Amino acid sequence: LENLVLTYVNAISSGNLPSVENTVLALAQIKNSAAIQKAIAHYDQQMGQKVQLPTENLQELLDLHRTSEKEAIEIFINNSFKDVDQRFQKELETLLEAKQDDFRKQNLEASSDHCSALLQGIFGPLEEYVKQRVYSKPGGHRLFIQKREELKAKYYQEPRKGIQAEEALQNYLQSKESVSDAILQTDLVLTAKEKERKEAYLKAEAAKAEARRLEEIQRQNQQMMEERERQHQEQLGQMETNRDQQLAQEQMARERSLVLFVTLQEEAAKQREREEAEIRRLQNEIQQLQQAKSRNDDCILL
């Protein structure tokens, strides 16, 4: 009310005479815009406190967003004013969706940066060995691959690499493919058979890497689809719960009507019994009176 009065007074002071309806609309604009800002601030605060980028997986980020989004919408609803057709709430939801997309991008970047630094730290010694030509000898490529696999296993064991973990690793390995090829060429001069085996190995590794990359993309897409399906099922479940409650209420009403009907029927039967008993009592009294009268008449005749 105070804001409404101030809005009205300020409009009059500026030389305009607003209608109450326009003043209310202006107040709704102010209040709802402020409610959006308050909700966004709460969302930012919660996500800032709870989200640690990069997240271990996409679902972790989605769960944190969903919780913070729900709280933000509740804050908006509690502070909104005449949000006709939920226009401002829809605006808030659009902003929250944009923030979710931004967090996803930040999560990707954080994961990529973290994995890049991690890869440099883990594979740095191997790069130094290559510079020192440690693997430039017969059988050197096998030793190089063996060491690389050990370092890959070490990389996989590192926690909280985020959703870019596999892609960052494959990008790094692809960037060093020429190094592997150079070591291989040095080694392959010794035997054609070794050459064939290594080439087959490299192709298999590339196929596995591509398969893992595609699998990761498919898994992330599946997560998003499952999340949408979960939200859809929640809505359907709520609708089903409301329908069940309505059916239960209708069933209770029918049962109460049936009980009332039976009660009235029983009461009517009892009333009929009382009336019939009363009729019999009166008939008995009439009969007794007639018999008494008949005796009296006999006595008079005598």
What average pLDDT does this structure show over 54-63?
A: 86
- Residue whose tokens read 């709460």: 42
- pLDDT > 90 fraction of the chain, expressed in percent and rounded: 26
Model confidence pLDDT, tens digit, residues 183-230: 888 888 766 665 666 677 888 888 888 888 888 888 888 888 888 888
Which residues fall within 8 angstroms of residue 253, CB to CB, at 6 or more apart? none
Domains of the chain by residue range: 2-108, 114-238
Model confidence pLDDT, tens digit, residues 98-137: 999 988 998 899 999 999 999 999 999 999 999 998 988 8
* pLDDT computed for residue 4 by the predictor: 47
* Topology given in CATH for the domain delimited by 114-238: 1.20.1000
Q: Does domain 2-108 have CATH number 2.30.110?
A: no
Average pLDDT for the chain:
84
pTM of the model: 0.49
Counting Cα atoms < 13 Å in the Cβ hemisphere of 227 gives 15
* Cα separation, 60 vs 230, whole angstroms: 15
